[in-house]
Structures are given as C-alpha cells and as structure tokens.
Amino acid sequence: MRPAALERGISSLGAGRFSERTKEASMELMDAIKGRRSIRKFTGEPVARETIEHLLEAATWAPSGQNLQPWYFVALTQKEDLAFVFSELGTTAFSHRKELEARFKNNPEIVEETMEFVSAMGGASTIVLAFLHKPYSEDLLPSCIESVAAAMENLCLAAYEQGLGSCWVEVVCRAGDALHERFAPDKGKLVGGIVLGYPDMEARPIKRKEGRYEIR
C-alpha cells in the first residue's frame, strides 16, 4: 500500500509520468552511488564558495535520529588553516605508520601511499571537518555519530554530482583535540572529515565484498 502523500503525487503527475521520473531519478542516484570514488590526488584548484555551500546544504538534508540534526561542519579553505591541520597530523604520523605497517605487512606500498596522502591530503583545496553540534549524552552518542555519517555521505555524493573528488578521512580524529580547540571550541567532538577538490587521478573501481547482506 502506497502512502497517501505518494498517491496524491501519482495522481497529480499521472502514473506514467511519475514512473518515468522515478526511474530516471533512481538511475541517476545509482550512477552517483556506484560512481563515487575515494580520491587521494587533487589539482589544488580552489572550489568556489557557492559550490561548498551547496555541498554543505546537501549534507544537512540527511536523516537523523530523533531529528536532532546533530552535525556541525567547518569547511577549511585558507592555506594557514590547512597547514595547521597538516602540522597536527604530522605529530601523529609515527603511531599511524606503525598501525598501517601491522595491518598491511604484505603491502608496504599501501603504507607509503597512505602516509604520503596524509601529509598534505593529496593537495586538496578544502577540508570539511565534521563535529557534533554539541556534547551529547552517552545514550545519544551512537545515534548522533550515525547521523553525522549519513550527512557526510550526502556531501560526498553531492560532490561527485558537481564533478569534484572527495575522500572520507578518519585520520583527522587523531588530532581531534587540537582541531576542536582551534575550529569549533564551543561544539561537540570531531567525528570525521572529508577532503574535497578537483581530481587529478582516475580512481579504479573497487570490487564489492560478497555475502554482506541477506533478505529473509
């Protein structure tokens, strides 16, 4: 049974037109979902302010638990702010390398590529830091972090739509205290980041792992 609002939409559009529009939109959405890649090398060309605003708005339309909308994004575009991020990440480089070497002991090239990327985020001209809007209670924290993650995915898909590359980076959380103090001291904890820019690489398709869902 279709929801009443959807029935009204079908009636106003005509069933045929509704079906065509829905199919077209679905194909465009799946193209974006499957076409998005993690980009780790950028041209360095600045992203226009209005484009960044468009991406941030897309992020804020994500679903959220209890409609808390618990996100707060800070988009860094100034060289001095980007340099501060790189400097703080540099202080965590040793421990990060050790973890990577343990995980990818048979693939040392992955370690080197990752460390090179982290040193300057691939030349990205924008870094978006994702904070919680405020400190939330422990019982709300898991839901809030999930909600911010949904918003970050919206941002990545919107970036792809605009011809931009993005890469979701957890590594910024290693410098979370310093970045929180400098960029959002009155907000909640830093939970992730996204680097943005114009791609300077062709990312290869990544095979999806099988056996990760079922229908009962």
Q: Which domains does the chain have, with CATH numbers?
A: 1-35 (no CATH), 39-197 (3.40.109.10)
What's the pLDDT at 6?
Answer: 40
CB contact at 8 A, 135 and 189:
yes
Cβ atoms of 187 and 132 closer than 8 Å: yes
Q: b vs e for 34-48, b when ≥16 Cβ sit within 10 Å of the residue's Cβ? A: eebbebbbbeeeebe
Instruction: Specify whether the CB–CB gap between 92 and 150 falls below 8 A.
Output: no
What three-state secondary structure class fits 208? coil
What is the predicted pLDDT for the residue at 17?
57
Structure-token pair, residue 90: 């540099």
Q: 190: Cβ–Cβ under 8 A, 6 or more apart, which residues?
A: 129, 130, 131, 172, 173, 176, 179, 180, 184
Q: Is 122 left (phi over 0), alpha (psi -120 to 50) or beta?
A: left
Q: What does the pLDDT read at residue 116? A: 85
pLDDT tens for the chain, 216 residues long, are 444 444 444 344 454 554 566 656 555 888 888 999 999 999 999 999 999 999 999 999 999 999 999 999 999 999 999 999 999 988 887 778 888 888 898 898 988 888 888 888 989 999 999 999 999 999 999 999 999 999 999 999 999 999 999 999 999 999 999 999 999 999 999 999 999 999 999 888 888 899 999 999
The residue type found at 39 is I
Burial class of 105 by CB neighbour count within 10 A (0 to 12, 13 to 18, 19+):
exposed
* pLDDT reported for residue 149: 98
Rounded CA separation 105/140 (Å) = 37
Question: Distance between CA 21 and CA 122 in Å, rounded?
Answer: 38
**Distance between CA 127 and CA 80 in Å, rounded?**
12
| Antiparallel, parallel or unpaired: β 190-197 and 165-169 | antiparallel
pLDDT at 89: 86
Strand partners, 129: 74, 193
Please say whether the beta carbons of 60 and 151 come within 8 A: yes
